Each structure stands twice: as C-alpha cells, then as structure tokens.
Structure 1
Amino acid sequence: MTASGPGEPTESARQLARWALAAAAGAVVALLTALTSGILILLTGIVGLVASAMGIWWFLAHRGPVRVFGAILAVGAPLAVLVLYVVGGVWGNALVALGLWGVALGCARTALRRPDRERNALMRGAPAARPRRPVLIMNPKSGGGKVGRFGLVARAEALGARVVLLDLSAETDVTALARKAVADGADLLGVAGGDGTQALVAAVAAEHDLPFLVISAGTRNHFAMDLGLDRTDPATCLDALTDGEELRVDLGSVAGRPFVNTVSFGVYADVVQRPEYRDAKAGTAVDVLPDLLQGGEGGRRLDATVDTVRLPAQQALLVSNNPYAAPDPFGIASAHRPRLDRGELGVIGIRVDGAAQAAELAVRGTQAAGLNVLTARKVHVVGNPGSSVDGGLISVAVDGEALTLPTPVVCTLRPGALRVLVPRDRPGTVPPLPPLDWRRITTLAFDTPDTPRTP
C-alpha cells in the first residue's frame, strides 16, 4: 500500500469510493433488471411518497372529513406501494436496490471523511484551573428527578462545590440566585436542570466572565449534547471540577433574554402557549394546528429579515445558537451542532401553503421552495400584516419555554461570551458527516497516488 501524505486520500478511501460507485450501479441494475419492474418501483415509490406527504398536510391543516381522508391517505399510500410491490413481484428488486443504495451511501460518507478536517470541525478546549468556590444550582425535579437518582448533590459536595437546590413550592428567580452566588465569592457557576435554566445562569456567568458548568440533568439536554457531554450519566459532568478544560462558546440573545439552543416562532411557539399543552401535547397540537397552518382566520404568519434577506409570511421560524450540521426542521430534536463558536445564528424558515408544497418538501427536502436554511448575525421577526397577530405581540419559545414578546423581536449572538468548563473525556463529541459529493467520489475512485493533481 502506498503511503499518503498529510491531507492526501488513503488507499482505503479510494477503495471505499469504488465500492460506493459499484453499489450505486448495482442499485440501478436491480431496478432495471426488468424494465417494467424498474419503472414500477420508481414511479410507485415517488407517487407513494408524494401521496403520503399530501395526506399528512390534509390531516394537520384541516378538520372533519378532509382530516379523516388525509389520515387514511398518509397511512394507506405506503401500504398500497408495498402491496403493489408484492403483487407485481418486484419487492425483491426493491429490497435489493434499497440495500445496495444504503451500502453506497455508507461507503461514500466514509470515503469522504478526513480526520485532519474532522479535528478542525470540533471545538478545542484549553487547560483550565480547578475552581476553588464552585456553586451549582440544581433542580431536583428536572429530567424526572435525575438529581436524586444519580446522587448529584453528594457527589458535587464531595468535590468541594456548594449546592443550591431550587425550591419548587414557589417561583424562584434563578438569575437572582446566580447573582447572589457571585456576590458571595463563587468562582464558577453551574446548573443541573433544563436548557432554559442553563441559559439564565449562563448569562450571569458570562456577565462576570466566570466559568460555567453544564450538568446534563434535564429532559432532553440539547446544550449538553452539543458540548459532547454524557447525557446518560449526569454525574460524569462533575469530573470537570477536578480534570476539566475550558471551551469558549457563543451565547444567543432574543429581546435581551439569553438562549443556548433555539428560539422558535410561529406554529410551535403558538402550540406550547396553550395551557393544556403540558398535559396533552399531541392532542393539543392536532386540535389547534388547522387554525395555525391556514392563512385565514386564526392563521399566524411571520415576516423575518435574516441579515438582509427577507422571509415573508413564514408559518414557522427556528433560530439557533450556531447552525445545525443537518438542517432538517423535522429532526432538530436529534440533530447536532458540531460547533458552538462560529459566531453565527442558524435560521430555518418554513412556509407551506398547501398539499402540493408539502409534497415538494417531502421529495426535495432542503431544496424545496418552502424551506429556507440560512446563517446570520442578526434576525428581526415581526407579525405578518395579513395574519392574526394582534397588538404587536407574538408567541416565542425560548429553549422550550413559552413566552409572549412585543415585536419586533431581535435575535443576536455574543461570540465567545461564555466560558464553559467540560470534562476532558466527552463521549458525545462526534465529528459532523461530510457533505455527500458524488463528483468527488468519482474522482477519488479513479485516483491513484501517481495521478497529477491540480493545485
């Protein structure tokens, strides 16, 4: 095997690229083994996807018979495609083609990975001194009682931290607690709780240029996930107190309020405002979505200016503290932000006005006209004049917390404002997948160490 220099593709990468092309070609052959079968698989698959997307739209955006029809179509279209495959005797071809395409994608992604670039794609920590007077604010009910279940109080106190437990019998001003801890001489602030609480204390830490410790004791722990922390065992986050390193990350601001993850406007924010949402999330959403998605009575639309780009009449808008690696509006709950120090807001805007646009979004994904994926330094959001946003107030969900704010609502970012203390061992640190570029795969497959390269 010929050795490759720094940054040069390895022989294994070239081989994986060849396998990717071979598997992709095999998938095409499996579809076209019999011309009629191949056309049947392709056409019915596309028609089934389009019909299912249209059914989902009718189910979400309408009531009565149209909603029932939409539900039947959303479920029945994929089943009908499966039946056609079986009756037509092409299910074997479809399975083989799907399997080979999966192999092709896996080999292509792996072939394009570059360890040198992946290292640069992740945040780097700097050595940090051990804090002498750390103060940790803990919510005993967060995450279903993770503070007690993992013995976080005893472990933190054994490491020299002072623990402040939130009193859930009355409303507690978390920001005031953090400021008092600083006044009493704390040299580190930390939180075991949800992302909304994390953001409030993080703002105080940033204001006083103190290190901030994230303990993954919330329900979803998006911020902890993107920092690479272990979300299955919050106690491991406390290792940062004795053997930690410091990251400089950005801190978001919406109308002067801090956020560490996302700010949602539009449909989602309107749904979580409902008092019944906490007890019946799915039922509440299904009940109110027709009014929110339609542009008529009850419909709420938003106009946004993303730096200098205008996004009119958006149904939903998501602004994130740094962009997500895979900007899928339906998969943000599990998506990652590989870096929190790029100094950019991520913006995803959605406008779907009917079943046809819903189908386009399902087929074309991020290339659909109804989906805008941008980055920005500043985002202005106001109510659309043709919608029912009244009194200059709009619903906003900040790190999952429901708020109502006067317009215009301005989102900005404070680059490097937050010093985050993390353990040296962060099992959740995952490099982002490289973008899939079949032209690059083809070049790599036919590349040899002796092939002249264009500078």
Structure 2
Amino acid sequence: MERQQRDGARTGSVLRARLALLALLCSVLVPLLVAGLRSVLWALVGIAGLAVAAVGVWWTLAHTGALRVLGLVLSVAAPLTVLSLYAASGMLGPACLSLVLWVLAVASARTALAPPRSPARRAPAPRDPWVVMNPRSGGGKVGRFGLVEKARSAGARVVLLDGNQDVVQLARQAVAEGADLLAVAGGDGTQALVAEVAARHDLPFVVIPAGTRNHFALDLGLDRDDPAAALEALTDGVEQPVDLGFAADRVFVNNASFGTYASVVADPAYRDAKLHTTLRTLPGLLTGEDAPGLRMRAGATWVGGLQALLVSNNPYLRAVDAARPGRRERLDSGLLGVLGVRVANTAQAARLVRGERSGSVMRLRVDEVVVDADTSDIAVGIDGEHVLLPTPVVCRTEPGALRVRVPRHRPGRPVLAAPADWRRVARLARGGRGAGAAGRDSR
C-alpha cells in the first residue's frame, strides 16, 4: 500500500511537471501566434507602463503638493493607457491569456517539485488545556462565535483578558498549575507572547484565529472565518513543528519590520487614521531628514542605505509565484526571509519593475541577520506591535521550537512547494528524479 502511494505521488508529480512545461510553452506561443515578432514590442510597452506607474507611486508616497498629485495621476493613467493600447490592437485577450498560462506554469512547476508530505499522526487529547482569550480582538470575535462556551465544553480552562493583565505571566502561571496545552484566541501579537512560553516548556500550542488579520492562522491552514473550528485541535488534532523568529529577545511568529513601516506604525495617530497618517509621514521617512538610515549584515557582508527591511519567520512567497502572495508555504524551513527596499530617487523607483535585478529590492534566506541604524534605538513592528529595541538588533530563528497543534481536517492546509527550478522540472517531466532533491534544497 505504501509503495502504491509513493508511485501514485510520483506519477502526479510527473504529470504536473509536464503541465508546467506545456503551459510555459503556450504562454510564449500565444502572443507570438497573434502578433508575431511585434509581441516583443508589446511586451516592452507593458514594461514601460509598469515603470511609469512605479515612478507615479514613488512620487505619491515620497512627495507632497503638486508632485504628489502628478504621481497619483501617473500611477493610475499609465496602466490604463497600456490596457487601452492593448485593447485597441487586439492584444488584451492574448496578453491576459499568456499571463494566466505563465502563472499556471509556475504554480505547476513548484507543486511538481514539492517534497512528499509525511502522514500526520493524531495527537493525544490534553488533560488540562488552558486558553487565553481577548474579547476585544477582531471586533469581538470571541463573543460572536461563542468561543468561551465552546472551549469550556471541550474541557479547557479559559482566561479572559481585560487589558490590564500580563499575558506572559498568565501563561507561566497556567504552566505552573499543570496546564499541558496553551492556546490563544486573539491577534498575532498575543499569539507570539504565549507561543514563546509554550516553546520554553515544550508544550503544544493552539492558534484560535480571533484577531483582525490572523496571518499566522492563515499560513497554518486554519479557517479564519470560523475561529471555533480551531478548537477541534483539542480533540482531533495533529502536531507540526514550527520555527520561531527572534528580534533581540522578542519572539515573532510572522515578521519584524524595520524602517519606514515601523516608524509609521509608531505614530500615535496611526490607529485612528491609518491612510492619512501614512501619507503625512512617508515623505519625511523616505526622502527627508527623518529617513531611517538602516543597514544590515547577513554573514560577513553589510548592506546600507535601506529604507525598509522586513524579516519574516520563514520566507514569504513572491507575488508572481502563486495566486496567494503574502503567504508562507512553510513554517519549518529553519530560515528567516529578508526583504529589503532601497529607493532614493525616481530612477531607482522606475527600475523596481526589474525586481531583484533592479538593485533596489533585496531578498535573502538566512538563519541570522543583524540590523543596525544611526540611532541607539530603533522602532520595530513585531507582528504588528510597535516596540523600541536597542541597536544593533540580532534577528535569528529557532527551528522547530514550537509544537503547534491544528485540527486534522482544515480547509486551507498549505501544499508544500519548492522553487520553480526549470531544469529539475524538465528532468522530472522526462521521467527522471527531481522532486526529492528539490524538496531537500527548499529547506
């Protein structure tokens, strides 16, 4: 039976690899068949439109007054003009079809190279689970979904936060009193605080998505529209190891942001007027005297002049890799994702369309990164919470530090995927081996 399952999985990988190559070929042939060599010209028109739009966005964010208005006009008019030209020439349909085929090709290639998923064993039910709930989180999800009653029905001790308690101390007290599982119904910031306590005492941890965004729950495959479904982890759950990220001594389950975004979030007016505060403060943070002088070191190399830096607990997907940008397909790679942005002028903003080749965007996968600045303290957004940390800040990962328990059946269970290595895809499509090696390389 096990051999049949392996053979079936391998056959599926080969078929997906062949689909990836076919879709990639068709994405090139469609515009060529419609417009011939003129399709190259139309591709250049599209790239130019994106560059002009990028300049417009830069002017909108980094300047005020007439230049901001002009930037807003450019950022809207440039893509609309390109779309109009495509439509007038009969290229809009083929261009959209080519883009869809390319996305299909990349998605198929990544899943074809995915490492095999080992079957998860059902975890034993806890004897004394403890759940802390924030009734204000997510606009009152705890009350709307009856989470208190449902958790107590599942045998859990429930503690409600009133805004004055120390959640870390509450979790430690629960452990001292015999709790053998810790859970949180709240936002990602509260999740991170209790997750550290669970990791330090080697206890399973349950995420109940009762916050506003619940990015951690999303990447665990939980149903964010039904927080009560996560309580099934108490009776019918499986465990999976998850890495924890650290910025100095602060834990993060999602990311730690430095520079522009962290400074915007630090503004007291941000909570009540997010857009207005962002537009008001960004020009000074991007080009003015308030611009943060960030630099980072990964290994022996220092990189300076960064305006924004995002360090994530496992790398995020690129927006072009799948239909789900802003997602992490893995939470156990043992690596941090590093995304740095360095845009100081209009020319660099225009080059952003080249991605990492522009020199303005930097992406790394490392197990440790050091972030420094021109000041003794630096604003950091840790899972959406603003903190001040002394510089330099060492960000690191603890692989598999957290035992996360999730329901055995969950709707958004992510499919592990490897980078789209087309040479391996071609070998796999011919019937050769490639998936296993790709899976090891994706670690």
Same fold, judged at TM 0.5 (above): yes
Provide the residue aligned with 1:93 in structure 2.
Answer: 91
- Post-superposition shift, 1:159? 0.7
- Post-superposition shift, 1:74? 1.2
Would the aligned equivalents of 1:17 and 1:444 in 2 still touch at CA under 8 Å? Answer: no
Aligned residue pairs, count: 425
Corresponding letter in the other structure for 1:315 = Q
From 117, 120, 127, the equivalent of 1:119 is 117
Would the aligned equivalents of 1:325 and 1:432 in 2 still touch at CA under 8 Å? Answer: no
The 1-side partners of 2:253 and 2:395 are apart by 12
Would the aligned equivalents of 1:216 and 1:224 in 2 still touch at CA under 8 Å? Answer: yes
- Post-superposition shift, 1:107? 4.6
- Post-superposition shift, 1:142? 0.8
- 1:209 match: secondary structure: coil
Provide the residue aligned with 1:321 in structure 2.
Answer: 313
- The CA deviation string for residues 301-327 of structure 1, in whole angstroms up to 9 with x for no partner, is 211112333221210111111112337
Say whether 1:304 aligns with 2:296: yes
Provide the residue aligned with 2:275 in structure 1.
Answer: 282
- Post-superposition shift, 1:185? 1.4
Would the aligned equivalents of 1:251 and 1:414 in 2 still touch at CA under 8 Å? Answer: yes
Would the aligned equivalents of 1:108 and 1:441 in 2 still touch at CA under 8 Å? Answer: no
Corresponding letter in the other structure for 1:335 = G
Provide the residue aligned with 1:178 in structure 2.
Answer: 171
Structure 1 residues 161-172: aligned runs within 5 Å? 161-168=156-163, 171-172=164-165
Would the aligned equivalents of 2:329 and 2:417 in 1 still touch at CA under 8 Å? Answer: no
Would the aligned equivalents of 1:58 and 1:67 in 2 still touch at CA under 8 Å? Answer: yes
Note the residue ranges of structure 1 that are not aligned, 5 or more in a row.
450-455
Q: 1:189 and 1:11, CA in 2 relative to 1: closer, same or farther beyond 3 A?
A: closer
- The CA deviation string for residues 252-286 of structure 1, in whole angstroms up to 9 with x for no partner, is 22121111110000000000000000011111111
Corresponding letter in the other structure for 2:123 = A
% same residue: 51
Corresponding letter in the other structure for 2:338 = V
Provide the residue aligned with 2:340 in structure 1.
Answer: 349
The 2-side partners of 1:291 and 1:15 are apart by 49
- Post-superposition shift, 1:229? 1.4
The 2-side partners of 1:39 and 1:262 are apart by 39
TM-score, with normalisation over the residues of structure 1? 0.86
The 2-side partners of 1:24 and 1:110 are apart by 16
- 1:192 match: secondary structure: strand
Provide the residue aligned with 2:437 in structure 1.
Answer: none
Provide the residue aligned with 2:441 in structure 1.
Answer: none
Q: 1:332 and 1:191, CA in 2 relative to 1: closer, same or farther beyond 3 A?
A: farther
Provide the residue aligned with 2:194 in structure 1.
Answer: 201
The 1-side partners of 2:147 and 2:75 are apart by 45
Would the aligned equivalents of 1:140 and 1:147 in 2 still touch at CA under 8 Å? Answer: yes
- Post-superposition shift, 1:106? 1.6
- Post-superposition shift, 1:109? 3.5
From 133, 141, 151, the equivalent of 2:136 is 141
- 1:251 match: secondary structure: strand
From 384, 392, 410, the equivalent of 2:394 is 410
Provide the residue aligned with 1:80 in structure 2.
Answer: 81
Provide the residue aligned with 1:426 in structure 2.
Answer: 410
Q: 1:152 and 1:370, CA in 2 relative to 1: closer, same or farther beyond 3 A?
A: same
Say whether 1:358 aligns with 2:349: yes
- The CA deviation string for residues 2-54 of structure 1, in whole angstroms up to 9 with x for no partner, is xx88746646753663354234212222232xx6x646533432221111111
The 2-side partners of 1:186 and 1:355 are apart by 56
Q: 1:416 and 1:433, CA in 2 relative to 1: closer, same or farther beyond 3 A?
A: closer
Would the aligned equivalents of 1:134 and 1:186 in 2 still touch at CA under 8 Å? Answer: yes
Q: 1:440 and 1:418, CA in 2 relative to 1: closer, same or farther beyond 3 A?
A: closer
The 1-side partners of 2:20 and 2:365 are apart by 33
Corresponding letter in the other structure for 2:304 = P
- The CA deviation string for residues 426-450 of structure 1, in whole angstroms up to 9 with x for no partner, is 22112255544556666777x489x
Provide the residue aligned with 1:255 in structure 2.
Answer: 248
Would the aligned equivalents of 2:19 and 2:108 in 1 still touch at CA under 8 Å? Answer: no
Say whether 1:151 aligns with 2:141: no
Provide the residue aligned with 2:30 in structure 1.
Answer: 26
- 1:117 match: secondary structure: coil
Provide the residue aligned with 1:45 in structure 2.
Answer: 46
TM-score, with normalisation over the residues of structure 2? 0.88
Corresponding letter in the other structure for 1:316 = A
Would the aligned equivalents of 2:31 and 2:39 in 1 still touch at CA under 8 Å? Answer: no
Q: 1:434 and 1:153, CA in 2 relative to 1: closer, same or farther beyond 3 A?
A: same
Q: 1:353 and 1:111, CA in 2 relative to 1: closer, same or farther beyond 3 A?
A: closer
- Post-superposition shift, 1:175? 0.6
Provide the residue aligned with 1:453 in structure 2.
Answer: none
Q: 1:448 and 1:334, CA in 2 relative to 1: closer, same or farther beyond 3 A?
A: closer
The 2-side partners of 1:85 and 1:116 are apart by 36
Corresponding letter in the other structure for 1:78 = P
Structure 1 residues 362-381: aligned runs within 5 Å? 363-381=353-371
The structure having more radius of gyration, on CA atoms, is 1
- The CA deviation string for residues 222-245 of structure 1, in whole angstroms up to 9 with x for no partner, is 111111212121111110111111
Corresponding letter in the other structure for 1:155 = K
- 1:119 match: secondary structure: coil
The 1-side partners of 2:34 and 2:384 are apart by 46
Provide the residue aligned with 1:14 in structure 2.
Answer: 18
C-alpha RMSD over aligned residues: 2.7
The 1-side partners of 2:329 and 2:411 are apart by 13
Say whether 1:268 aligns with 2:261: yes
Corresponding letter in the other structure for 2:31 = A
- Post-superposition shift, 1:355? 1.5
